[in-house]
Amino acid sequence: MPFVEVAHLVKHFVRGAGLFRAGTRLAAVDDVSFSIEEGETFGLVGESGSGKTTTGRCMLRLVEPTSGDVRFRGANVLEFSKRRLREARRQMQIVFQDPYSSLNPRMRARQIVEEPLLIHKLGDRTTRRTRVAELVELVGLNPAHLDRFPHEFSGGQRQRIGLARALALNPSFVILDEPVSALDVSVQAQVVNLLMDLQQQLKLTYLFIAHDLRLVQHICGRVAVMYLGKIVELGPAAAIFAAPQHPYTRALLSAIPVPDPDAPRHRVVLDPSSVNRGAALKEVAAGHWAAI
Amino acid sequence: MSDADEPLLRVEHLTTVFDLPGGPVPAVDDVSFEIRAGETLGLVGESGSGKSVTAVSIMRLVQPPGRIAGGRLLFKGRDLLTLDERAMRGVRGADISLIFQEPMTALNPVFTIGDQIAEALRVHGRASRSEASAKAVELLEAVQIPDAASRVRDYPHQLSGGMRQRVLIAIALACRPALVMADEPTTALDVTIQAQILDLLRDMKSQFHLSLLLITHDLGVIAETADRVAVMYAGRIVETGPVRAILQDPLHPYTRGLLASIPGGAPGRRLKAIEGSVPSLGALPPGCAFAPRCPDRFEPCATQPPPDVAVGPDHQTRCYLYDRVPLKSDARPTDAVR
């Protein structure tokens, strides 16, 4: 049984609907299936509009999917009652991209990290205080700064606060939605290292949503590439980066700017008509699937 | 000043400060560099490093509480800082143009893209009303917008981000400026579109004989486009040199750290991070601004700003590690320290 299993997930958004107008249906996520094994970092990559963020949000039901299944340790999250869902969210957490807008500016760092414990009515005042201190140390923040407000922290420190909050309930599965892309280049590596350390230390399973392919290649074991709401290629990161099969993946990988002026450049431009939108994923090598 | 060796633009000791309630904050601090005819200079830095303020200062478009506090901006030998506003208006767009980062907000939503290109031409008296629209179509064709003759009547919202960036490039090129500055022209775009825009900028540069100042935080973008590179940190240029020297043999500890922190190498390994965070401009240390994060800092770094040192052909850095190094290309920090 996979740790997390997404099957035939669909999310439609309706655009331009009015009183007398049906509007047009947009399939943001269009029949997406993949599974994540316990302890792995699974990468979901794609460009804006590919549906990667919506997929992540549907998995936690922050956005209600139109249809499909999301199984967490075998149980279908989409069938959960509100109460059961709240319980399940202790296990499944998300860290958002923008540490500037995802933290409440009126709360002190301590309150932000403590809030999930309060919502889930865990522990008393003293145990909560101890837990907050633990979390703060875990993510490498200075405990002396706990009474500060978000704006008094740098972007990297804010993302650490977001991470401490996500980890407060001791989840086993964390969705990281572009966790470093809003950070200064010189602090991205710190946060990436922290994420890798925490995964080892706490035995976390990650869904890593990102558009930075260099980073995905570095930290993900397996990767799914999304294009216009569908997964067009899925497999071990090493296989996909070494031998991409789908025309979109090839175009995407060839577009990554390499910081070496002498690196060979073979730009592959995607011809949208070369993409067979109806193609099903088929196994091109062991564990490596492509919709070609 | 018609010397062939004279660079197109020479920025000398440019200083731009923001007068904030807590006192003046130098966003650009004693910055000097030059852009030669036909070259692309990559200006690299993180948010807050002063790279955008540098470009806005060159255009003399700094808004209060910001002001240019000193320096010279020698464009074709003439100091732009001595021009009155009217003369400066003749320079903007016609001699030097600036492409902004956000293709979503830099265009006026209530005018067609053709009107916006035509406006740029008419403001500088480069075309009459009737000629302008024909020229707009030509420019859209030059920036490879398919079906330009009908697209010219589109409004910005009808175009994708990549197409809008092409329109902004067309506007920037309309009056055939000698220098185009592009401020993070691809940051808001997806990587496949970014590749197309970088290719386009390269094409335009040779087709229109431009010099380009390309501002970015992405060293990959630099590698693909720049001839020379200037690296900014906390309002100062810390290293300048040919693109190969900077990316393959960087000398300033900040440049080295930036390159080392890029994901690569064996998957799953810890990255080589730069410790600490970017200092706030209002609270810079008295010495080198990078000193608190620098793995190689030593005695003088914290107290006195380091001098600009020539470390190789056309390669300078502001760092004490190279302070007493004679001008040679194989200078290494270990030689200097030990």
Residue B303 shares a structural domain with residue B229 = no
Q: Is B222 on the interface with A (CB under 8 A)?
A: yes
Residues B296, B231 within the same domain: no
* Mean pLDDT in residue range B231-243: 97
Q: In this structure, are B258 and B222 located in the same domain?
A: no
- pLDDT > 70: percent of chain B: 94
What does each C-alpha distance from B306 to B253, B317, B320, B323 come to in angstroms?
Answer: 13, 9, 6, 8
pLDDT tens digit sequence for B204-236: 999 999 999 999 999 999 999 999 999 999 999
Give the per-residue pLDDT at A223.
97
Contact between chains at B220 and A47 (C-beta distance less than 8 A): no
Q: Do B46 and A155 touch (CB under 8 A)?
A: no
CA-nearest residue to A194 within chain B is B270
Could you list the residue range(s) of the whole structural domain that residue B68 is in? 1-86+213-248
Q: How far is B165 from chain A (nearest CA, A)?
A: 16
Nearest CA in chain B to A48: B190
**What is d(CA A291, CA A275) in angstroms, rounded to the nearest whole number?**
9
Q: Determine phi and psi for B159, rounding to 5 degrees.
A: -110, 150
Q: Is residue B185 part of a domain?
A: no
Q: Is B35 domain-assigned?
A: yes
The residue with greater pLDDT, A99 or A116, is A116
Cβ contacts (< 8 Å) between B193 and chain A: which residues? Answer: 47
Mean pLDDT of B64-73: 96
Q: Which pair of tokens denotes residue A149? A: 């407000």
Neighboring chain A residues of B146 at a CB cutoff of 8 Å = none
pLDDT band at A129 (very low <50, low <70, confident <90, very high): very high
Res. A59 pLDDT band, cuts 50 70 90: very high
Question: Which residue of B192, B220, B267 is in closest CB contact with A47?
Answer: B192
**What pLDDT score was predicted for residue B32?**
96
Same domain, B244 and B308: no
Q: What's the confidence (pLDDT) of residue B1?
A: 46
Q: B14 has which bridge partners?
A: B31
Evaluate whether B288 touches B323 at the Cβ level (below 8 Å).
no
Choice between A261 and B328, residue whose per-residue pLDDT is larger = A261
- Summarised one tens digit per residue, pLDDT across range B152-186 is 999 999 998 889 999 999 999 999 999 999 999 98
* pLDDT tier at A19, thresholds 50, 70, 90: confident
Does residue B338 register a pLDDT over 90? no
Cα–Cα distance, B78 to B22 (Å, whole number) = 35
Lowest mean pLDDT among A64-68, A183-187, B154-158, B293-297: A183-187
Kindly state whether A237 is in contact with chain B, defined as any CB-CB distance less than 8 angstroms.
Answer: yes
CATH of the domain at B21: 3.40.50.300
What is the rounded distance in angstroms from the CA atom of residue B47 to the CA atom of residue B27? 11
Count Cβ neighbours within 10 Å for each residue of A105-143 and write b for 16 or more, e otherwise. eeebbbbbbbebbeeeebeeeeebeebbeebbebbbbee
Residues A137-160 have a mean pLDDT of 92
The predicted pLDDT at position B324 comes to 63
Q: Which residues of A touch B217 (CB under 8 A)?
A: 185
CA A188 remoteness from chain centre:
16
Residue A60: pLDDT band by 50, 70, 90 thresholds? very high
Sign of torsion over alpha carbons A231, A233, A236, A237: negative
Q: Is the pLDDT of residue B33 over 50?
A: yes
Residue B108 is predicted with a pLDDT of 92
d(C-alpha B183, C-alpha B98), whole Å: 7
Percent of chain A with pLDDT over 70: 100
Determine, yes or no, domain membership for B119.
no
Where does the pLDDT of residue B331 fall: very low under 50, low under 70, confident under 90, or very high at 90 and above?
A: very low
Nearest to B61 by CA among B181, B143, B142, B166: B181
Domain boundary among B196, B226, B248: B248
More confident residue, A141 or B129: A141
The pLDDT-based confidence of B336 (bands split at 50, 70, 90) is very low
Its ipTM equals 0.87
**How many structural domains compose chain B?**
2
pLDDT confidence bin for B323, thresholds 50/70/90: confident
A167–chain B nearest CA distance, Å: 21
Predicted confidence (pLDDT) at residue B102 exceeds the cutoff of 90 = no
In a domain, B294, yes or no: yes
Sign of CA dihedral B276, B280, B285, B287: positive
Residue B330 resides in a domain: yes
Domain annotation for chain A: domains and CATH numbers: 4-91+171-290 (3.40.50.300)
> Residue A206 belongs to what H/E stretch?
strand A205-210
A47 touches chain B (CB under 8 A): yes
pLDDT, tens only, B263-285 = 987 888 999 999 888 888 888 99
For the ranges A35-44, A134-143, B182-191, the lowest mean pLDDT is seen at B182-191
Q: How far apart are the C-alpha atoms of B244 and B227, rounded to whole Å?
A: 8
* Domain presence at residue B239: yes
Q: What per-residue confidence (pLDDT) applies to A174?
A: 97
What 3-state class would DSSP assign to A8? strand
User: Does B258 lie in the same domain as B225?
Assistant: no
Whether the per-residue pLDDT at B325 is higher than 70: the answer is: no
Domain shared by B7 and B79, yes or no: yes
Residue B217 belongs to a domain: yes
Least confident of A22-31, B68-77, B132-141, B142-151: A22-31
B59 assigned to some structural domain: yes
**Distance between CA atoms of residues A240 and B50, nearest Å:** 38
The predicted pLDDT at position B329 comes to 45
- The residue type found at B254 is Y
Q: What is the separation of C-alpha B252 from the centre of its chain, rounded to a whole number of angstroms?
A: 19
Mean predicted confidence (pLDDT) in B103-130 = 89
pLDDT at B332 > cutoff 60:
no
d(CA B297, CA A114): 38
Give the number of other Cβ atoms within 10 Å of residue A258's Cβ: 17
Q: Do residues A174 and A93 lie in contact, with contact meaning Cβ atoms separated by under 8 Å?
A: yes
How far apart (Å, rounded) are the C-alpha atoms in residues A198 and B211?
47
Residue A195 pLDDT exceeds 50: yes
Average pLDDT score, chain A: 92
B227 and B258 housed in the same domain: no
Between A269 and B116, where is the model more confident? B116
CB contacts, 8 Å: A258 with chain B: 220, 223-224
Give the phi and the psi of residue B186 in degrees, each rounded to 5: -125, 5
DSSP designation for B62: P
For residues B32 and B61, membership in a common domain is answered with yes
Say what the pLDDT of residue A55 is. Answer: 97
Average pLDDT, chain B: 90
B153: DSSP letter: T
